[in-house]
């Protein structure tokens, strides 16, 4: 049996999804570009972000081995200081 709390949750969910659908319809009606143009813009944006992400990953990949070596030397130096 559905109590008042369950009914309130269902009502809230229905309002939420109604708002989503309304927003989607309004966005489609007032979109300044055609679907093809919008997809092209989104594709270009995603391509740019992907390219930037690859550049960041490549820079990190180049730096990490050196940083690991530096950290290893520091830890080994600290170990030697404590045990000599």
Give the pLDDT confidence score for residue 6 in this predicted structure.
64
> DSSP per residue over 30-78, as a string?
H-SS-HHHHHHHHHHHHHHHHHHHHHHHHHHHHHHHHHHHHHHHHHHHH
Q: What is the pLDDT of residue 67?
A: 87
Cβ atoms of residues 38 and 31 within 8 Å: yes
Task: Please determine, for residue 84, whether its predicted confidence score (pLDDT) is greater than 70.
Answer: yes
> Do the Cβ atoms of 66 and 58 come closer than 8 Å?
no
Q: Which DSSP letter does residue 8 get?
A: H
Whether pTM exceeds 0.85 = no
Residue 30: per-residue pLDDT:
81
Question: Which pLDDT band holds residue 48 (cuts at 50, 70, 90)?
Answer: very high
Residues 7-36 pLDDT 10s: 787 888 899 999 999 988 888 778 788 878
Residues written for the chain: 84
């Amino acid at each position: 049996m559905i109590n008042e709390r369950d009914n309130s949750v269902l009502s809230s969910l229905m309002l939420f999804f109604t708002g989503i659908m309304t927003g989607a319809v309004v966005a489609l009606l007032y979109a300044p570009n055609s679907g093809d143009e919008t997809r092209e813009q989104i594709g270009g944006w995603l391509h740019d972000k992907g390219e930037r992400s690859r550049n960041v990953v490549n820079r990190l990949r180049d730096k990490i081995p050196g940083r690991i070596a530096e950290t290893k030397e520091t830890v080994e130096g600290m170990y030697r200081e404590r045990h000599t």
